[in-house]
Structure 1
Amino acid sequence: MTLDLDAYLKRIAYDGPLDADVETLNALHEAHINAVPFENLDVHAGRPVTFSLEDAYDEIVTRAQGGWCFEMNAVFGWALSEIGFDVMRIGAGVRRASLGDEALGNHLALIVRLDRDYLVDVGFGSSQLTAIALEEGVTSHSPLRMALARTEDGYWRLHEGGPGAVMSYDFRAEPANEAQMAASHAWQCTDPNSIFYKTLSAKIRRGSHYFILRGRMLETQMPGRSEQRILDSPVELSEVLSEIFGLEEPELERLWPKICARHKQLFPHASRQSGG
C-alpha cells in the first residue's frame, strides 16, 4: 500500500504551512482531532484489528473512519515524520497509578523533538488539543486541562482534567517497547475484560465542544458546562454516530443488547430513570 501524505492532509482538512516547527505541529494536532474521531467500533464489534500502520492508514485516510491510540498516533507520527519532524513512539500505561506496571504498553503516544521535547497525542480520546512541552505544569485544552507531573519512580504522568485527576497515564521519554505494545493491543482487542471490548466509545472535538459517546450515553462538554443525553434505540445511536462523529456501524442491531447491558453497568441511576 502507498501511504500518501497529501491524502492524509486532505483527510484532516489541513492546507497550512508544513514547516517542522511548533506552530505547524500544533496546527496539525488540532486539525487531526477535529477531523478524525477516536473510536473503537471494530474492537467492540469483534472485527479483526491489526497492529499495522498500513491498516491504520487505510481505516483513517482511505475509508475516512476513526481509530484508537494505536491507529491514531501511528498515522499521525508517520505524517509528522514525512513532513520532517523528529518523532519517537513511546509506550505508556493508562491508569498505571492504580493498575501498576501491568498497564505499561496499553497506550501509544509520541515525543516530538524540536527546541525541546513535546508530548504529542491525538489518540487519548481526542482530549489533548496541542503538543505539551515535556515539563511539569498545567496546560489548557478547552474545555479540559492537562497536568504533567513527575512520579516518585521517575515516570512522567499526564493527568486528563488537571492536577491529581484520576484519568492519567505514565510514560518515559524513551522508545516504545513495540513487542509489549503489540501484546497489549491484542489483549485489548479480544479479551472480554478489556474496556474497549466491553464499551462502545467515540470521542471528537468540534471547536469548543467535546463530544463523548459511551454506548447509549452521549456527553457534550463545553467551557463551564456539560450536557448528557441517553440514546434510546439503534436508529438514534446510528444517527449520532453519523451526524456528530462521521461514522457508520453496520452491526448496531446485533450489538444493541450488549450496549444496553453495559449501559446499566456504567450508568445504573440513569438507566433506572430512562427505563432502560
Structure 2
Amino acid sequence: MQADNFELQNYLNRIGFYGDAQADIATVTNMMRCQLFSVPFENLDVQAGKVVSLVPEEIVDKILNRNRGGYCYEVNGLFAMALQALGISYQFVAARPMFYPVKRPKTHMAIVLKLDDEEWLCDLGFGSYGIRAPMRLNILNVNVKQDADTFKLSKTTEHEYLLQALVEGEWTNQFAFDLSPQEWIDFTPANYLNSTHPDAIFVKKLLVVLHNPAGRTIFFDNMLKTIKNGKVEKISIAPENRDAILADKFKLTDF
C-alpha cells in the first residue's frame, strides 16, 4: 500500500508516536494505539453524500494534512502504508461483520501482518468494540485483556477466524475472516456499498469513535456516549450542537 505523498515521519507526528520506529511488534503495538487515540473512526464524508475515496494520496491528505479520520478502508489503509514503510510484511483480509441479525457480506477490512514467523491481526477501523492492540492468530480461545476491554479469537472452521468482544458480561461476535489475500482494489465494491446503500449503517447514521487509554468516546446519531473504565455515560446532543461536539471531542473541523 503506497501513496506518493506518504512520509513515515509525517504519519508518526500526526499520531503522536515518539521514539525510534522499528520493524518489530513493540513498534506496531505502540503505533496502533497512538493512531487509535488520535485518528477518529468517522463517516462524515458518507453523511455528506460522498463516496469515500480509496485513492491512497487522497487518504493521506485527508488524515495527515486535514486532521480528519475515516472508516476501515481509510484508517487501515493508512496504517498499511506505515507498515510498508517499516518493511513489515502484511496482507489485507476481507471480514464479515457478525453483529447483525442476518448474514452480511464481507464489507470490513482488517490487516494480518507477519513478524518473526508469527501472524498478528491488526484493525484500527471497526468502531466501538474494535481491538486496541495486535492479536496473535495462534492464540485461540484465550481471553485477551486490552485496557478495560477483553477479546477472544477462535476458529469456526479450519480456515475461518472469529473475533469476539466481552460486552456487558456476554461474548458478542464482531467479525469473521480468513486468510485469503485481498488486493486494495478488491474493496472497491464494499466501499461503494458502505458509502451509498440506504441500508448501510454509515448512510443511516453519523458515527464517530475515538479511543483513549481508559475507553472511548462515541458520537452515534444524536447521542454522545463516553465509556471510561467500563462505565458508560450518555448525553443527547441537539443537531445545532453537532459541529461543536465534533470539534471539541474529536478535533474534527475540516469537513
Q: Partner amino acid for 1:27?
A: N
SS across alignment from 2:64: helix
**1:87-102 matches, cutoff 5 A:** 87-95=90-98, 98-100=101-103, 102=104
User: What residue in structure 2 maps to residue 151 of structure 1?
Assistant: 156
Change (3 A) 1:231 1:7: same
Provide the rounded CA distance (Å) in 2 between the counterparts of 1:11 and 1:206.
Answer: 16
Change (3 A) 1:95 1:249: farther
Change (3 A) 1:45 1:97: closer
1:176-223 CA-to-partner distances (Å, cap 9, x unmatched) read 265542111111101111111101000011221311110111111111
User: What residue in structure 2 maps to residue 107 of structure 1?
Assistant: 108
1:209 aligns with 2:215: yes
The structure whose residues are more often helix, as a share, is 1
Q: Which shifted more, 217-226 or 160-169?
A: 160-169
1:43-91 CA-to-partner distances (Å, cap 9, x unmatched) read 1111232222222111111111001000000010111110121111111
1:219 aligns with 2:225: yes
Identity %: 26
Q: Partner amino acid for 2:105?
A: A
Which of structures 1 and 2 has the bigger CA Rg? 1
The alignment yields a C-alpha RMSD, in angstroms, of 2.0
> Are the equivalent residues in 2 in contact too, given 1:96–1:170 (CA < 8 A)?
no
> Are the equivalent residues in 2 in contact too, given 1:204–1:212 (CA < 8 A)?
yes
User: What residue in structure 1 maps to residue 89 of structure 2?
Assistant: 86
Match of 2:192 among 170, 173, 186: 186
> Are the equivalent residues in 2 in contact too, given 1:218–1:228 (CA < 8 A)?
yes
Q: Partner amino acid for 2:199?
A: N
Match of 1:140 among 136, 139, 145: 145
Displacement, 1:167? 4.3
SS across alignment from 2:250: coil
Q: Which has the higher contact order (CA 8 A, sep 6+)?
A: 2
SS across alignment from 1:88: strand
Q: How many residues align?
A: 247
**1:120-139 matches, cutoff 5 A:** 120-125=122-127, 127-134=130-137, 135-136=139-140, 137-139=142-144
Provide the rounded CA distance (Å) in 2 between the counterparts of 1:238 and 1:183.
Answer: 30
User: What residue in structure 2 maps to residue 37 of structure 1?
Assistant: 40
User: What residue in structure 1 maps to residue 119 of structure 2?
Assistant: 117
SS across alignment from 1:211: strand
Provide the rounded CA distance (Å) in 2 between the counterparts of 1:41 and 1:97.
Answer: 22
Q: Partner amino acid for 2:235?
A: R
> Are the equivalent residues in 2 in contact too, given 1:38–1:123 (CA < 8 A)?
yes
Displacement, 1:97? 7.6
**1:45-56 matches, cutoff 5 A:** 45-56=48-59
Change (3 A) 1:68 1:16: same
User: What residue in structure 2 maps to residue 240 of structure 1?
Assistant: 245
> Are the equivalent residues in 1 in contact too, given 2:215–2:230 (CA < 8 A)?
no
Q: Which 5+ residue runs of structure 1 have no aligned equivalent?
A: 251-276
Q: Partner amino acid for 2:69?
A: G
TM-score normalised by L of structure 2: 0.89
Q: Partner amino acid for 1:110?
A: I
Provide the rounded CA distance (Å) in 2 between the counterparts of 1:249 and 1:84.
Answer: 32
Provide the rounded CA distance (Å) in 2 between the counterparts of 1:43 and 1:233.
Answer: 17
The structure whose residues are more often strand, as a share, is 2
User: What residue in structure 1 maps to residue 236 of structure 2?
Assistant: 230
Change (3 A) 1:179 1:80: closer
Q: Partner amino acid for 2:108?
A: H
Match of 1:16 among 5, 19, 23: 19
Provide the rounded CA distance (Å) in 2 between the counterparts of 1:52 and 1:21.
Answer: 28
Change (3 A) 1:72 1:217: same
